[in-house]
Amino acid sequence: MVVKFKTRKRVEAIAPYVLGKSLEEIKIENGLSQIRKLSENENIYGCSPEVKKWISFEGSDLNLYPDGMAVELTKKVSDFFKVDQDQLVFGNGSDEVIRLLTRAYISEGEEAIMADVTFPRYQTNVYLEGGTPVIVPLENGIHHLENMLEAITKKTKMIFVCNPNNPTGTIVGRDELLSFIKKVPEHILVVIDEAYVEYVSTDDFLHTVPLVEQFENLIVLRTFSKIYGLAGLRIGFGIMNKEITEQLRKVKDVFNVSRLAQGAARVALEDQAFIKKCSENNLKGRKFLEGSFQKMGLNYFPSQSNFIMVDCEQNGDVVARGLMKKGIIVRSGTLLGYPTTLRVTIGSDEDNHYFIESLTQVLKGV
Ligand SMILES: *Cc1c(COP(=O)(O)O)cnc(C)c1O
């Protein structure tokens, strides 16, 4: 396309964002009465009922700017996670915290190491800042930490580890990750993205928050978008050394997190019974889906999250289209470099049964 207004080279190189169809359009086109959206790893149980109550009262203060330093929320999160208040930075989704990190720390020509395939925002943000994403392939869907260590050069500034990894749902082992963190040179930032941590059920998982005190280069990312069910409000945060929070706060927009998001996150954090219930339900669903895939003879990556990547041994786009006709939206693996896979969000019991039934039919060409 000929552009009239010359963009920065790095912006030009990024593929344009293609708007998908709205759920309403998909419904009409396929004559469906109901759609099960199992494509974005959202919490299918919604959010805590306490948040809904709170939101309905909060509307009266919308003329006021939010607290740019999120003081109340900072106190709450610092108590809950047992970290200092000056170790926290909130963002308009943890997506924004990723952007703040690259904005503050990636200079022209510097490198950031990340897996392939993983959450695409690391790569885009590093690239936009003039940095070079250094991509290390997964092994059996899992981060290859040894190869990531070997990829370190004089130019390395940052390393991203998505744990559990999106889109494969896998985790790296506890001892392996700890020894990795110890081996990374101190001047390189290690960013561990734990967007799905609340769904992890194995003991072989490294809890990184308590390690932030010990490793000054360690940054842990968390979000309220996934199990807390607040994706629509946009709020996430990072836990890190206070030297780093100070720099990120310089870079962020003044009022980057809305009033509603700050308040809802506070209320949501209090309702841990809701979180526990969602995690338990998810674990049941995960076992059911993995068991069903085994019966169907399909390979999948063992998941510790609220989604599973399964190999359908057929073109993922074709299978996803077949499922869409039956009212299920999933993510095809074609664009992710796994062309015969689907990534499906674990749904309710009913969603999961309907999904397996529909997938069986689609794979048979029915
Ligand atoms: C969904 C997701 C996020 C962030 O979501 P926000 O809504 O921006 O908080 C971050 N990392 C991974 C791996 C995710 O899947």
Per-residue pLDDT tens digits for 223-241: 999 999 999 999 999 999 9
- Ligand 1 centre and the CA of 166: distance in Å? 9
Q: Which atom, in ligand 1's list, is nearest to the CA of 223?
A: 9
- Ligand 1 centre and the CA of 365: distance in Å? 34
For residues 201 and 171, the answer to whether their CB atoms sit within 8 Å is: no
Q: Which atom, in ligand 1's list, is nearest to the CA of 231?
A: 7
- Give percent above pLDDT 70 in the chain: 99
In angstroms, the CA 307 to CA 301 distance is 10
Alpha carbon nearest to ligand 1 atom 14, residue: 195
In angstroms, the CA 193 to CA 100 distance is 14
User: Which of 99, 226, 228, 303 to probe ligand 1 with, by most ligand atoms within 8 A of CB?
Assistant: 226
pLDDT, mean over the chain:
95
- Ligand 1 centre and the CA of 41: distance in Å? 9
In this prediction, residue 247 has a pLDDT band, given cuts at 50, 70 and 90, of: very high
Burial class of 250 by CB neighbour count within 10 A (0 to 12, 13 to 18, 19+): exposed
> What pLDDT score does 1 carry?
64
Per-residue pLDDT averaged across 143-166, rounded?
98
Per-residue pLDDT averaged across 281-295, rounded?
98
- Ligand 1 centre and the CA of 223: distance in Å? 7
Alpha carbon nearest to ligand 1 atom 2, residue: 195
Is the pLDDT score of 17 beyond 90? no
Domains 18-45+273-363 and 49-270 share a fold: no
> What pLDDT score does 276 carry?
98
Q: Which atom, in ligand 1's list, is nearest to the CA of 40?
A: 1
| Residues 60-105: tens digit of each pLDDT | 788 899 999 999 999 999 999 999 999 999 999 999 999 999 999 9
- Ligand 1 centre and the CA of 6: distance in Å? 31
- Ligand 1 centre and the CA of 364: distance in Å? 34
For the record, the structure tokens of 67 come out as 């607290």
Domain 18-45+273-363 has CATH 1.10.287.3510: no
> What pLDDT score does 18 carry?
77
- Ligand 1 centre and the CA of 100: distance in Å? 14
Domain 49-270 has CATH 3.40.50.720: no
For the record, the structure tokens of 99 come out as 């952007």
Give the residue extent of every domain in the chain: 18-45+273-363, 49-270
In angstroms, the CA 111 to CA 130 distance is 9
User: Which of 39, 90, 161, 223 to probe ligand 1 with, by most ligand atoms within 8 A of CB?
Assistant: 223
Is the pLDDT score of 43 beyond 70? yes
Query: Ligand 1: which residues within 6 Å by Cβ?
Result: 93-95, 119, 162, 166, 193, 195, 223, 225-226, 231, 236
Q: Which atom, in ligand 1's list, is nearest to the CA of 225?
A: 7
Q: Which atom, in ligand 1's list, is nearest to the CA of 236?
A: 9
| Residues 345-362: tens digit of each pLDDT | 999 999 999 999 999 999
- Ligand 1 centre and the CA of 95: distance in Å? 6
- Ligand 1 centre and the CA of 40: distance in Å? 10
Alpha carbon nearest to ligand 1 atom 6, residue: 93
Rounded to a whole number, what is the distance in angstroms from the first to the last CA of the chain?
41
Per-residue pLDDT averaged across 248-257, rounded?
97
Query: 71-81 vs 259-270: helix axis angle to the nearest 10?
Result: 30
- Ligand 1 centre and the CA of 31: distance in Å? 32
- Residue carrying structure tokens 């359908």: 312
Instruction: Tally Cβ neighbours within 10 Å of residue 16.
Output: 6
pTM: 0.96
Per-residue pLDDT averaged across 145-172, rounded?
98
